[in-house]
Amino acid sequence: MTIREVAELLRISPLTIKRWGKKGKLPAIRINTRGDRRYRKEVVLRLLGVEEEK
């Protein structure tokens, strides 16, 4: 998930997502040398208190 997708899902600012990443609350995967980030859907859902069905 992109920063924008996560921010929309959680209804918070993209800047908050970046801050959470720096604090370790929401670990990001860096996908290129430019520093773009992606987030695992499972981790985001866990923040919401939702377990993904398998």
> CA of 54: how far to CAs of 10, 26, 45, 49, 51, in Å?
22, 22, 13, 16, 9
Over residues 2-54, the pLDDT tens digits come to 999 999 999 999 999 999 999 999 999 999 999 899 999 999 999 888 776 65
For 30, the enclosing helix (H) or strand (E) is strand 29-30
Residue showing tokens 């993209």: 14
* Phi and psi angles of residue 33, each rounded to the nearest 5 degrees, phi first: -70, -20
The residue extents of the domains of the chain are 3-48
pTM for this entry: 0.79
